[in-house]
A and B are shown apart, each in its own frame.
Chain A
Amino acid sequence: MQLSTLFQKSITKLSHLHIVVGTLFIATLYVTVCNLFFTEGSLLHVSNYTVSLLGKYLCYALLALAIDLVWGYCGILSLGHGAFFTLGGYAMGMYLMRQIGDRGVYGNPDLPDFMVFLNLTELPWFWAGSSSVWWMVAMVFIGPGLLAYVFGMMAFRSRVSGVYLSIMTQAMTYALMLAFFRNEMGFGGNNGLTDFKEILGYSLQNPHTKLALFIATAFALAIGYFISNYIVNSKMGRVITATRDAENRVRFVGFKPEHYKVWIFVVSAILAGIAGALYVPQVGIINPGEFSPLNSIEMVIWVAIGGRCTLYGAIIGAIAVSYAKTRFTAIMPEAWLFGLGGLFVLVTLYLPKGIAGLLANLFDKLSIVKVDAAKGDIDKEKVADAEMKS
């Protein structure tokens, strides 16, 4: 009984931030240890394939976090976050393309294969500098961030909101998809960028590199969660939440909601871009298909299923739905779209708060029981004390 009160106390002291980062840390440590120190065939072994898969899921989780930030806390339903994700991915892809060097099919030391194939003689201007890591890191931030800034400035200043905004974001990613499918864009047309060899001098085929990428993704997710958590709990986060609930009132009080909206939109886009950049070396390809509106909507459903307006819910949703997708498409590919479609409908109808809401409910019930029990214990103790005294 002492233990349960202790548990109760420690739980209330622990914030979501601690739980999420802690869980993430433990999971990463577990996967790392099991991958490195248990040989294949052992019960505890985690295969390289699983490590890559988990790395992919964590990228999705970071992306879901970014969407939750704008949708859950600011009420902007973006159906175009795939665009930011893919742009980040392309920035990384360009860097990786240049790392191939003369190991490509055509063996051209300067030009990636697809450019040789398109009869280009020199790099297009926007590829300049792409062989440097710092350029890549800068582009991962600037590409999605700038797009989000320009788009957000125009949309939020003219007070486009709600469904209109959603449809416009969808049109944005659709237009980008069409554009990137063109060979003339200089991003590899519909084949995209692929056949990567190494990152920072380490071979991408090496399982240790994959493990390192997985750890880096986990790290990025933890930092992303920390930043998001900080933003939503700051004063600014309150203004943003208020904007979601009553934009006009916020404006009447004297704030400029569009500034806050643009700001949160840009932060979210950069987070999505980072997720994309980490995603590309782990799956080994980036192509314009990632821009497709369907992908962006699938991302939104992760958040909806996980539970929006709770940052950890987005992470749970992304991982759970992606895992279900991996499973279902392997077992019965036909059923997956039925399943996904059904999830959309059921979750919106019956689970408006998602898994996180469900968990919170369960937790509340549990804690009420526990508190009751604890109270009971205390009462008993008091009685016992009183008896002792008397």
Chain B
Amino acid sequence: MMRLLSVLISGIISWQALANDQVINADTAPTVDKHSAVLIELVQKLPVTKLKKLPVLVEQLASTATLKNTKKTRDVLQYLVDGELYYIKANKHVVRAVNGENKTYTLTDILADETFAPVNKSKIKKIKTNNRLRGEIRGYIAKIDLSSSDKNTRIDAINQILSNPSKPGLSAVRALLATEQNDDVRELMNVTLLTEQLKHGSHAEKIAAIKQIEDSLQPVVKNAMTQLLDNLPTNNKSTEEKILAANLTKAIKSIDGKRDLFGYLETIFFGLSLGSVLLLAAIGLTITFGVMGVINMAHGEMMMLGAYTTYVIQLAFPNLIEYSLLMAVPAAFLVSGFVGIIIERGVIRHLKGRPLETLLATFGISLMLQQLVRTVFSPLNRQVQAPEWMTGSLQINPVFALTYNRLYILLFSLLVFFALLMILKKTSLGLHVRAVSQDREMARALSIKSDWVDAATFGLGSGVAGVAGVVLSQLTNVGPNLGQAYIIDSFLVVVFGGVGSLWGTLVAAMSLGSINKFLEPITGSVLANIIVLVGLVLFIQKRPKGLFPQKGRASD
């Protein structure tokens, strides 16, 4: 009882405060105030109106939106649709109630951002709506959004109307079509109206609508067409129905053809995207394994270090998430490169000419690095945030969208690839690296410091692995086992492409990624993985030197 009283009192006080506010506001913006008052009046009628009469009230409510307090009206309507609009039983005061802890409801005043103490469910009552009314309210909301100045809000609103057509929504689309400036929005509006015409128009209108929207890839359009076709009688069609059926079949076929095309494009994009990840993972290995001939099983852990570097940078600069990746790329390069140089100087140097021993030793290092990360950071996965510009997607048409993170990663991997290519082909370091890898003794005779070149090459390869880790942090969980998942794949990419060939690695990574993604819908992802692995093993049997073998006469 006491609680109810306190709620009541606080409610009254807040109401008064709100009223006071309005009095103060009245001097500065009188119109807003006047319309708010209208809105409040209408809202307070909600609890006392019967369900039958609600549509009229809602229409009045929605009409206040045109009177410059759009946002508030929209919020109220949204709460009503979501079933969050309640009134306090005692005083019929309308509030927004959200289910909180312990079966209590948190109450918020709908017009001011004021929160009341949570109350039990028995103290409040929901304002009931029915399905039809909710549809209409959605229409009103869409109508409000349609007049928004933001293009995306308008597109979302039209999509909403397209999937749930309602009278107010459609009439709003019809009214605003003439004044719409943006082409995309106008086209979408057209599709909406034509779909409606297709559903409910006369025969001639239907045919006309089909002709106009047979290029549209909106899923709703195809659904409407299939529905219409299914509803036609199977036998004894009238001539009109026959023509309609023929037109519909043709249009559906054309839409399906287009969808398939874009489906292929999407698979290719996914394949290239997977390929770009493989490329990034493998390209560092191409340098250490392909050029230097060193098996570095700790390569995956270099990637892991890169990913953790990203995590640490985000921890260190929580306010600069947007720039964190840009900072992480050079930082990860340095960290992993540095660790790589230490490994080369400390271990690999002493195992020259013993590839199998190198394999074991570097594997040992990878175990230690994993455990190090487990001890320092925890065995659990760490969360790396994605900056704003990496999220979202580039919507090319309703059935084909490119996600920005995959797109950027694809571009970035190509950038890294060409940068490495340039380093190896155009710089003196690259020249020395190639010289040492081809004939160490001769290179030394020509005063190239082969030790120094080895360390630099290994550092470069490891650094690139670190950069790959930054990218991986955007795609998978950052945990101690991050590297292990990629090490076998990246070795296979290098071997498949031909050891020591950068171009081979590019082709191998992209084709393996695409094959994988094309197999996936047929076989499922695990089986696709297995098939690719087995296929690769068979391929290596046939061509042990890979796709692009290095030419030479060397024998074992």
**With A168-B537, A175-B534, A338-B371 in contact, is A163–B355 under 8 Å at CB?**
yes
Chain B: residues with Cβ within 8 Å of the partner, total of 42
Closest 4 CB pairs of A and B: A344-B364, A341-B367, A341-B368, A337-B371
**Residues of chain B within 8 A of A337, CB atoms compared:** 367-368, 370-371, 374
- B364 and A341 contacting across the interface, CB-CB below 8 Å: yes
Q: Within the assembled complex, what's the spacing in Å between the Cα atoms of A174 and B488?
A: 8
Q: A290-312 CB contact bits vs B (8 Å, 1 = yes)?
A: 00011001001100100000000
Q: 8 Å CB contacts to B: which residues of A350-384?
A: 352
- A344 and B361 contacting across the interface, CB-CB below 8 Å: yes
**Residues of chain B within 8 A of A297, CB atoms compared:** 360, 363
A360 to chain B, nearest CB (A): 19
- B368 and A163 contacting across the interface, CB-CB below 8 Å: no
- B488 and A171 contacting across the interface, CB-CB below 8 Å: yes
Q: 8 Å CB contacts to B: which residues of A327-345?
A: 334, 337-338, 340-345
B332 to chain A, nearest CB (A): 22
B96 to chain A, nearest CB (A): 47
Q: 8 Å CB contacts to B: which residues of A152-170?
A: 154-155, 157-164, 166-168, 170
A71 to chain B, nearest CB (A): 8
- A162 and B355 contacting across the interface, CB-CB below 8 Å: yes
A296 to chain B, nearest CB (A): 11
- B359 and A164 contacting across the interface, CB-CB below 8 Å: no
Q: A177-218 CB contact bits vs B (8 Å, 1 = yes)?
A: 011011000000000000000000000000000000000000
Could you jot down 27 A-B contacts, CB within 8 Å? A155-B541, A158-B542, A160-B540, A164-B495, A166-B359, A170-B488, A171-B488, A171-B492, A171-B533, A175-B533, A175-B534, A248-B555, A294-B484, A297-B360, A297-B363, A301-B364, A337-B367, A340-B364, A340-B367, A341-B367, A341-B371, A344-B360, A344-B365, A345-B347, A345-B361, A345-B365, A345-B368
Q: Within the assembled complex, what's the spacing in Å between the Cα atoms of A157 and B495?
A: 18
**Residues of chain A within 8 A of B375, CB atoms compared:** 334
Q: Within the assembled complex, what's the spacing in Å between the Cα atoms of A301 and B363?
A: 10
**Cβ of A77 under 8 Å from chain B:** yes
- B544 and A301 contacting across the interface, CB-CB below 8 Å: no
> For the side of the interface on A, what is the size category?
35 or more
**Cβ of A110 under 8 Å from chain B:** no
**Residues of chain B within 8 A of A178, CB atoms compared:** 526, 529-530, 533
Q: Within the assembled complex, what's the spacing in Å between the Cα atoms of A352 and B372?
A: 26
- B357 and A352 contacting across the interface, CB-CB below 8 Å: yes
- A348 and B351 contacting across the interface, CB-CB below 8 Å: yes
**Cβ of B183 under 8 Å from chain A:** no
Q: B181-194 CB contact bits vs A (8 Å, 1 = yes)?
A: 00000000000000
**Residues of chain B within 8 A of A300, CB atoms compared:** 360
B515 to chain A, nearest CB (A): 15
**Residues of chain A within 8 A of B311, CB atoms compared:** none
**Cβ of A349 under 8 Å from chain B:** yes
**With A337-B371, A338-B368 in contact, is A182–B526 under 8 Å at CB?**
yes
A165 to chain B, nearest CB (A): 9
Complex partner residue of B540 from A164, A179, A340, CB under 8 angstroms: A164
Nearest-neighbor residue (CB-CB) of B499 within chain A = A164
Q: Within the assembled complex, what's the spacing in Å between the Cα atoms of A158 and B546?
A: 13
**Residues of chain B within 8 A of A294, CB atoms compared:** 484
**Cβ of B431 under 8 Å from chain A:** no
Q: A243-275 CB contact bits vs B (8 Å, 1 = yes)?
A: 000011000000000000000000000000000
**Cβ of A231 under 8 Å from chain B:** no
**Residues of chain A within 8 A of B491, CB atoms compared:** 167, 170
Q: Within the assembled complex, what's the spacing in Å between the Cα atoms of A160 and B361?
A: 22
- A154 and B538 contacting across the interface, CB-CB below 8 Å: yes
Other than the given A159-B544, A341-B363, 10 more pairs (CB < 8 A) read: A155-B541, A164-B495, A172-B537, A178-B529, A179-B530, A334-B375, A338-B371, A338-B372, A340-B364, A348-B360
